[in-house]
Every structure is written in structure tokens, then in C-alpha cells.
Amino acid sequence: MTDEPWMRGLHTDTGYLLHRIGLRAGSLFNSALEQHGLRLRHYALLRYLATAEGVRQREISDRLGYDPSAVVGLVDDLQRLGLAERRPDPGDRRNRIVVLTRAGRDLLRDSDHDAARVTEQLLEPLGEEERRQLQRLLLRVAGLDPA
Amino acid sequence: MTDEPWMRGLHTDTGYLLHRIGLRAGSLFNSALEQHGLRLRHYALLRYLATAEGVRQREISDRLGYDPSAVVGLVDDLQRLGLAERRPDPGDRRNRIVVLTRAGRDLLRDSDHDAARVTEQLLEPLGEEERRQLQRLLLRVAGLDPA
């Protein structure tokens, strides 16, 4: 693609380049997740639920940056697929929390392989050491220092 | 954000990390472009038009990865704002091409400063040498070798 004039402007603009590559990553994820009847946002939500004991919908919306109304629909979808469920919040019975089901955990494990394939596809031009370097830099950009 | 459990899973998954950072870049761009009455897709289209003498709508859709029907709407928007216009294709009068107007070029120059600010904001945690490193790696990922 080196000769594409429209890409030439990207040489000096890392922010826009990150956006374009992020879109490509998202579209690769969407293709990989199709077999599970999921879209990227469902996957992001499943991943988030997997790291918590049970979360409120508002928290999901805050952390993933999706509209609260969109989150309701996403949770509905996951519940219909048996991948997550709403339960009363043990800390405050007036609230409900969202938790991953066993089936949700299984699917997440299966789709982890898909995620690895997406990363592999995306980073194909890079060698091992370059991949580690990129990962380190991206974690810094995300405000996460490498462990 | 180091302690966010939902981010922890990202440590091993560069593809997903790229997607999340790409979303953040997109949302910063959208905020920066609001003052011009533009969304990120308009901006991407303007940037593309700036690198070509005049392009067909189908080509735009191919290169930017947007639906052909979405491209028609985007070009309509730019035309209404006086930033681009449709002209007969000199090479084939049955076709029309899309070209940037003078006002489109001016706006693009103005918004280049916004783009630089977005990049600055996004890469704030990195030093100069790390930014160059990241840019080099991202160009490789995009299939563009550094000039």
C-alpha cells in the first residue's frame, strides 16, 4: 500500500493512524465473532464482565464508553443468548448487577483464540521483538504501565 | 488506570488494545471537529480528497471502507457545506467525480492543527523517541514502510 496517496498523509499523524488501524482491528474482530452470533460490543462487554464479580449497568457504560441505552440492549442480547444474567445486587437490593454465566465463560474462552488470531493477522508485518515493543508502547498510551 | 481490572486482560492482547485506543482516538477527533460542524467520517473523506485530483464515489467507498450509500450522504454533507463538489469526470463524461473546493482545503488546513492536538493528547504519556518508535511500528502494521 506504500504508494496509496491517501495514506501518505498518515506518515506524520499518529493519532489518525491509530484510529484507522483501530477500525481495521474492529472489523477483523467482527468477522471473527460472527460465528458466535456476536458483535464486537458484545465481546467487549463479555470481557469486561469476566474481570468483575458482578457490575452495574451504569458502570459498564462508564467504563466501555457506550451509551447507557446501548448497554441495556447489549445486556438483553447476552441474556437472551444465555451468556450473562441480571441478578439483585447483594450490596443494595434495589439495584441489579450483570454477571457472566457459565456459558458466557466458555464462549469467552473459545473466542480468546479468535482474538489471538486477529492480533496475529494485524501484526503480521512485525517480528517478535517489534510486537513486544508495540505492546509496551500501547500500554503506556492507554495509561497502563507494563507489568 | 493501572488498577482497572477490565483493562488487565488487555496486557496480552495487542489487537484488542489497538481497537480500544483507536476508539479513543476517534472520540477525541470527533470532539475536536465539532466546532467545524464535521464528524470524523467527513474529515477522513476530506483528507482523502486532498490527496487526489478528483475521485469517484465508488473509489472512496473502497478506500475508506464505508458503505457506498454512506459515502453518498457524506459527499452530500460536504457539498452542502461548500467543502467539496461533484463534477463530470474528464476521463468519462458519464461519471462524476468528487473534488475538494478552496473552502475545503482551507478547512482541512485549519483542522490539521486539531489533528495535531489530538495526537498530542493521545501520546502524552510517551517521550519523543517513543513516539517516533510507535509511529514507525504503526506504519509497518498499516503496510506502509517508513519513508
B112 or A85: which leads in pLDDT? A85
A:B CB pairs within 8 Å: 193
β-pair partners for B85: B99
Average pLDDT, chain A: 85
* 8 Å CB contact between B137 and B121: no
* Residues of chain A contacting B47 with CB distance shorter than 8 Å: 6, 9, 16
Question: C-alpha grid cell for residue B61?
Answer: 467507498
Contact A138 B25 (CB under 8 A): no
Contact A119 B14 (CB under 8 A): yes
* 8 Å CB contact between A79 and A45: no
Phi-psi sector, A19: left (phi>0), alpha (psi -120 to 50), beta: alpha
Query: How far is B31 from B39, CA to CA, in rounded Å?
Result: 9
Q: Residue B1: its pLDDT value, please?
A: 39
Residue A138: DSSP 8-state: H
A127 or B37: which leads in pLDDT? A127
Strands B92-100 and B84-89: what pairing? antiparallel
Contact A29 B19 (CB under 8 A): yes
Nearest by CB to B51, which of A9, A14, A126? A9
Which pLDDT band holds residue B3 (cuts at 50, 70, 90)?
Answer: very low
Q: What is B5-121's CATH number? A: 1.10.10.10
* 8 Å CB contact between A62 and A82: no
Task: Tell me which residue of B128, B3, B23 sits closest to A145, measured CA to CA.
Answer: B3
Q: Residue A72: its pLDDT value, please?
A: 93
* Residues of chain A contacting B122 with CB distance shorter than 8 Å: 14-15, 18, 141
Enumerate long-range contacts of A70-75, CB under 8 Å, 24 or more apart.
A70/A41, A71/A45, A74/A41, A74/A42, A74/A45, A75/A45
Share of chain B above pLDDT 90, in %: 39
Please list, in sequence order, all residues whose beta carbon lies within 8 angstroms of the beta carbon of residue A107, skipping any fewer than 6 positions away: A36, A38, A46, A83
pLDDT (tens digit per residue) in A27-54: 898 888 888 888 888 988 998 898 877 8
Contact A23 B65 (CB under 8 A): yes
pLDDT (tens digit per residue) in B87-106: 998 888 888 899 999 999 99
pLDDT (tens digit per residue) in B16-46: 889 989 988 988 988 888 888 888 889 889 9
β-pair partners for B88: B96
Share of chain B above pLDDT 70, in %: 90
Q: Where are the domains of chain B?
A: 5-121
ipTM of the complex: 0.78
- Residue B11 main-chain phi, psi, to 5 deg: -55, -25
Question: C-alpha grid cell for residue A122?
Answer: 494485524
Share of chain A above pLDDT 90, in %: 39
Q: How far is B109 from chain A (nearest CA, A)?
A: 12
Nearest residue of chain A to residue B137 (CA atoms): A134
Contact B119 A13 (CB under 8 A): yes
What type of residue is A16?
A: Y
Contact B16 A143 (CB under 8 A): no
Contact B6 A47 (CB under 8 A): yes
Contact B15 A118 (CB under 8 A): yes
- Helix B40-50 and helix B57-64, axial crossing angle in degrees, nearest 10: 110
Query: How far is A101 from B53, CA to CA, in rounded Å?
Result: 55
Question: C-alpha grid cell for residue A74?
Answer: 447489549
DSSP A52-94: SS-B-HHHHHHHH---HHHHHHHHHHHHHTTSEEEEEETTEEE
* Residues of chain B contacting A63 with CB distance shorter than 8 Å: 4, 6
Nearest by CB to A15, which of B14, B119, B146? B119
Q: Looking at the predicted structure, is the pLDDT value of residue A3 above 60?
A: no
Task: Tell me which residue of B29, B129, B30, B27 sits closest to A140, measured CA to CA.
Answer: B129
* Residues of chain B contacting A21 with CB distance shorter than 8 Å: 18, 22, 138, 141-142
Pick the CATH number of A8-119 from 3.20.20.70, 2.10.70.10, 1.10.10.10, 2.40.10.170: 1.10.10.10
